């Protein structure tokens, strides 16, 4: 385990998230993911059997990423897969389970350290490494009685590593969220006058529904172009049902806070690979960091599709140590936009998340376990 924790996974973690060129990343990432597969196959009987039934056999040398087995994301809803002894588990992460049974992920100290480190490096690359006040658009979890707040608070907690002081500006009344408007406005005006760098953080739908719409209706605007960055997480399903496009979202947020769209960051990630985050800057695509790689697979055949075509998102990463979440086929639909260096100087694969797969599209993903584990 000690050797596993040092090389080659630690080597890739020591790299900047976006500076390796394609050749450098292919070598380092290939060695790290191969070592990770070897570790989990040797330490997790179910995962080892799954890989063998998949037709995969270990090699000393890395193979093409598309040849490594992948497990469907919904397996974590039915089984708690662990690759370490029970006494090494420090925490259990549960997804929000808005659509059914939650995923359950066992975390040890090695996994937690790697995930926190990777998340902090990616966030710092976009937001800057300096700690700053975070204005959180949610209820204070220490004061709330809402049944939904534990999952939201858990998702928020990992992003506060760059926060010097978190303040909460929403409250619940009769089961409905409300913005503490006066406090929020006074706080923003103070930071605007003092020219202090700050970050507004919240869930996409909550940010728009309970903050942006309220301020737009009140014709309240700020001029925070020089000192505000806005980061939001979560899906777009609720906004899309209200016919609010990403372009309208960016335009409205930009108008209210007086910031360029490039200061608005949309963050994608999921519990089954907690700590790995993919950030889009304004209307640009999301960027894959050094610590992971993405494959898009056909809805039915599950074969890789050419860049530009839509399919199910698969993400590989060598970071998980306590559970085999190293190659996960999600139920999210996406496409690869480009590869290489973007206009901001970041290297890596660019992709966009289009939405959730329909039940018929995701069926092939769910059938994998029945075929290879039964």
pLDDT per position as a tens digit, 41-94: 999 999 999 999 999 988 888 889 999 999 999 998 877 789 999 999 998 887
> What is the rounded CA–CA span in Å between residue 118 and residue 13?
7
* Res 98: pLDDT: 53
Among residues 54, 29, 51, 33, the alpha carbon closest in space to that of 41 is found at: 51
In this predicted structure, the answer to whether residue 356 has a pLDDT above a threshold of 80 is yes
> What is the rounded CA–CA span in Å between residue 261 and residue 259?
6
For residue 117, give every residue at least 6 positions away whose Cβ sits within 8 Å of its Cβ, in sequence order, or none.
13
CB 331 within 8 A of CB 73: yes
Q: With left for phi above 0 and alpha for psi between -120 and 50, is residue 340 left, alpha or beta? A: left
DSSP state for residue 341 in the 8-state scheme:
B
In this predicted structure, the answer to whether residue 286 has a pLDDT above a threshold of 50 is yes
Among residues 222, 323, 237, 204, the alpha carbon closest in space to that of 275 is found at: 323
Q: State the chain's mean pLDDT as an integer.
A: 90
In this predicted structure, the answer to whether residue 150 has a pLDDT above a threshold of 70 is no
Locate the domains of the chain by residue range: 2-372
CB 199 within 8 A of CB 230: yes
For tokens 């070598």, the residue is 27
Going by pLDDT thresholds of 50, 70 and 90, the confidence category of residue 246 is very high
DSSP run (H or E) holding 178: strand 176-179
CB 287 within 8 A of CB 297: no
DSSP run (H or E) holding 198: strand 198-203
- Give the CA distances from residue 155 to residues 48, 65, 132, 201, in Å, rounded to whole numbers and listed in that order: 30, 29, 19, 11
DSSP SS3 for 200: strand
In this predicted structure, the answer to whether residue 321 has a pLDDT above a threshold of 90 is yes
Q: Which CATH superfamily is domain 2-372 in?
A: ANL, N-terminal domain (3.40.50.12780)
* Res 60: pLDDT: 81
Q: What is the mean pLDDT of residues 353-362?
A: 77
pLDDT digits (tens, 9 = 90+) for 83-116: 999 999 998 887 765 556 777 899 999 999 999 9
> What is the rounded CA–CA span in Å between residue 348 and residue 345?
10
pLDDT digits (tens, 9 = 90+) for 8-24: 999 999 999 999 999 99
* Res 361: pLDDT: 56
Token digits of residue 193: 């006058």
In this predicted structure, the answer to whether residue 2 has a pLDDT above a threshold of 60 is no
Percentage of the chain beyond pLDDT 70 is 91
In this predicted structure, the answer to whether residue 374 has a pLDDT above a threshold of 50 is no
pLDDT digits (tens, 9 = 90+) for 151-196: 677 778 878 889 999 999 999 888 899 999 999 999 999 999 999 9
For tokens 């913005």, the residue is 179
Beta bridge partners of 105: 93
- 162-171, 289-298, 304-313, 362-371: which range is least confident on average? 362-371
- 3-class SS letters over 31-54: HHHHHHHHHHHHHCHHHHHHHHHC
pLDDT digits (tens, 9 = 90+) for 193-239: 999 999 999 999 999 999 999 999 999 999 999 899 999 998 888 89
In this predicted structure, the answer to whether residue 369 has a pLDDT above a threshold of 50 is no
> What is the rounded CA–CA span in Å between residue 83 and residue 324?
7
């Amino acid at each position: 385990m000690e050797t596993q924790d040092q090389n080659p996974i630690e080597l890739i973690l020591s790299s900047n998230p976006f500076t390796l060129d394609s050749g450098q990343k292919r070598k380092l990432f290939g060695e790290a993911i191969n070592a990770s597969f070897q570790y989990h196959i040797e330490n997790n009987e179910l995962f080892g059997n799954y890989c063998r039934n998949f037709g995969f056999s270990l090699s000393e040398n890395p193979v093409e990423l598309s040849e490594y087995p992948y497990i469907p994301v919904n397996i974590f809803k039915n089984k708690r897969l662990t690759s370490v002894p029970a006494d090494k588990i420090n925490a259990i992460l549960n997804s929000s389970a808005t659509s059914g049974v939650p995923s359950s992920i066992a975390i040890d100290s090695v996994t937690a350290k790697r995930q926190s480190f990777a998340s902090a490096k990616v966030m710092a690359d976009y937001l800057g490494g300096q700690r700053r006040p975070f204005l959180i658009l949610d209820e204070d979890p220490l004061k709330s009685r809402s049944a939904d707040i534990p999952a939201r608070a858990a998702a928020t907690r990992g992003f506060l590593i760059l926060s010097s002081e978190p303040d909460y500006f929403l409250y619940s009344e009769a089961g409905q969220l409300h913005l503490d408007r006066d406090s929020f406005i006074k706080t923003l005006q103070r930071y605007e006058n003092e020219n202090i760098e700050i970050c507004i953080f919240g869930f996409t739908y909550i940010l728009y529904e309970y903050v942006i719409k309220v301020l737009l209706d009140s014709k309240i605007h700020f001029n925070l172009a020089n000192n505000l960055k806005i980061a939001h997480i979560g899906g777009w399903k609720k906004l899309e049902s209200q016919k609010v496009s990403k372009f309208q979202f960016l335009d409205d947020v930009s108008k209210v806070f007086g910031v360029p769209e490039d200061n608005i960051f949309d963050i994608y990630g999921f519990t089954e690979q907690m700590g790995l985050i993919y950030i889009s800057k304004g209307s640009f695509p999301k960027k894959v960091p050094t610590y992971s790689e993405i494959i898009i697979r056909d809805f039915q055949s599950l074969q890789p599709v050419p860049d530009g075509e839509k399919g199910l998102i698969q993400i590989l990463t060598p970071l998980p140590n306590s559970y085999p979440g190293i190659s996960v086929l999600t139920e999210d639909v996406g496409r690869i936009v480009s590869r290489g260096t973007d206009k901001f100087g970041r290297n890596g694969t660019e992709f966009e998340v289009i939405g959730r797969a329909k039940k018929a599209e995701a069926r092939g993903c769910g059938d994998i376990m029945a075929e290879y584990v039964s």
